[in-house]
Amino acid sequence: MAELHDLTALEQGALIRTGEIDPVELTEHYLDRAERLPASYVDGAFALRDPDAARLRAREVAAIGPVGEGASPLAGVPTAIKDLNLTRGVPTSFGSPAFAGYVPEVSDAVTLAIEEAGMVSLGKTSTPEFGSPCYTEPEGRPPAVTPWDTTRMAGGSSGGAAAAVAAGLVPVAQGSDGGGSIRIPASCCGLVGLKPSRGRISGFPMYGDVTGLSTSGSIARTVADAAALLDVLAGRRAGDPYWAPEPSGTFLAAAGREPGRLRIAVFDTPAIAAAPVDPEVTRAFEETCGLLVSLGHAVEGVPVPIPPEAVSTFEIAWAVLTALSTVPLAAEQRALIRPLTRWLGEWGESISGPQFGLAIGQLRRYAAEALVALAPYDAVLTPTLATTPLPVGALRDDADPRADFEAQKRFTPWTSAWNVTGMPAISLPLHMSADGLPIGMMFAARPAEEELLISLAAQLEAALPWKDRRPPLW
């Protein structure tokens, strides 16, 4: 007999609407599950768990009674919020000992949207310091690991969120993505990771990413769950600097539509680093191309749409973003940050205002050239990562932060391209390696065409289902 955590987030929401379960019962199930799984795994997934607050919230949602017309299908469903997101009255450390004990006085747009949808947060999911690395090994805490092999990383920076969803600690979770931080952990953990278009989700109230690289998005076990969470998160606020056009309907509805015959560009040449690609990843990529053809799509090989020179420009933007987190720190806080953060922050501080302005302008031009080159295509396929999930610690190098940074690029040689262009992108758990590790395939679409991307992803899920594929820890 299926347990509650075996059900999708949407199936759980449907049971709440029919009264077969209530949010309190569902919340207790997940709180109990966290007590039964290995503590090191749970502590690697969560930066903070607050059972009492979760129970209180579940009782508040249950007191509202049956959800009405227009309510989110995820009302009453448990989730968790990334430790980078502001949560009023709830400790938020941004993955860093430098912010231990910090409690925000306001919530950001993502937190407010989750609350307004009637979802129940069980706590804060783990992230690396300031969300910078593509692995989640925060100082003083267990690493976030994949439940497919707990000696291997969950990826980052939304590694805690992915670890939580993949082990059935929450059914669906929000993440954020400035260079692949939703899609990387989705691939490592065998999940769907959806990064929406630039401007789809508000950055209120901080608007801290002046580069436009980062956005929040969905991590889920199914495409429909990811789409439903995007419906919760999407929307603009009056002060937003840019926003995506409104969709034609709900993103969840798009998961139920056929995409039609599409023209799909494909390439597996690494885009941002001269990285060796695991033969199993290449095999999975080729099999995905074959699957697309079998579904009636036209598949065409294309050159990498972003030139190698774009990498150094992206790095300037990334270093300045890190500096924006480190510059305000007091001396005693700076003493607590890890070597990679310090190195990136000092690099960012050394970049002059004119240098940064020129880099942003050049990055926009690289993005424009890529968008023009890819405009004839409905979607683009690449692998998500160059290898299967690596062992914990394989990328981290505190003695040589530059080597750490370069190793991260080799592990993730495609993901940041779609942050530069602002295109929506999704990682799908279409394949498994011979030794039982997930291999994600990544699709991108034209800006603001999440609906088409979701329809294609749902078609692929129906053709090669993965929902009932369970990791050993399940």
**Mean pLDDT in residue range 333-341:** 97
Residue 107 annotated as catalytic: no
Percentage of the residues of the chain whose pLDDT score is greater than 70: 99
428 forms beta bridges with: 441
Q: How many CB atoms lie within 10 A of CB 11?
A: 17
Strands 215-220 and 298-301: unpaired
Catalytic site residue from 82, 124, 195, 409: 82
- The per-residue DSSP string of 62-107 comes to HHH-S--TT--TTTT-EEEEETTS--TTS---TT-GGGTT---SS-
Alpha carbon distance 469, 429 (integer Å): 10
| Cα–Cα dist 335/426, whole Å | 37
Q: Across residues 28-34, what is the average pLDDT?
A: 98
pLDDT at 6: 98
Nearest to 440 by CA among 366, 378, 381, 361: 381
Residue 285 binned pLDDT confidence (cut-offs 50, 70, 90): very high
CA dihedral 26, 30, 32, 37 (to 10 degrees): 160
Phi, psi of 283 (to 5 degrees): -60, -45
**Residue 277 CB neighbour total at 10 angstroms:** 18
* Predicted confidence (pLDDT) per residue in 182-219, tens digit: 999 999 999 999 999 999 999 999 998 999 999 999 99
Q: What is the CA radius of gyration of the chain?
A: 20
**Neighbour count for residue 313 (Cβ, 10 Å):** 21
Q: How far is the C-alpha of 394 from the C-alpha of 14, rounded, in Å?
A: 42
Residues in the chain: 474
| Partners of residue 24 on adjacent β-strands | none
pTM exceeding 0.75: yes
Distance CA 202, CA 259 (A): 27
Give the model's pLDDT for residue 69: 64
SS3 128: coil
What number of other Cβ atoms are within 10 A of residue 397's Cβ? 17
Catalytic residue from among 96, 132, 181, 187 = 181
User: And the tokens for 300?
Assistant: 């065409």
Residue 310, Cα to own-chain centre: how many angstroms?
Answer: 23
Is 92 within 8 Å of 68 (Cβ atoms)?
no
| Averaged pLDDT of the chain | 97
Does the annotation mark 181 as catalytic?
A: yes
How many Cα atoms sit within 13 Å of 370 on the Cβ side?
Answer: 27
Instruction: Report the distance separating Cα 69 and Cα 269, nearest Å.
Output: 48
pLDDT band at 70; cut points 50, 70, 90: confident
Considering the candidates 72, 93, 107, 157, report the single residue annotated as catalytic: 157
Q: What is the mean pLDDT of residues 65-82?
A: 86
Q: Specify the DSSP class assigned to residue 241.
A: S
CATH code of 4-463, in short, is 3.90.1300.10
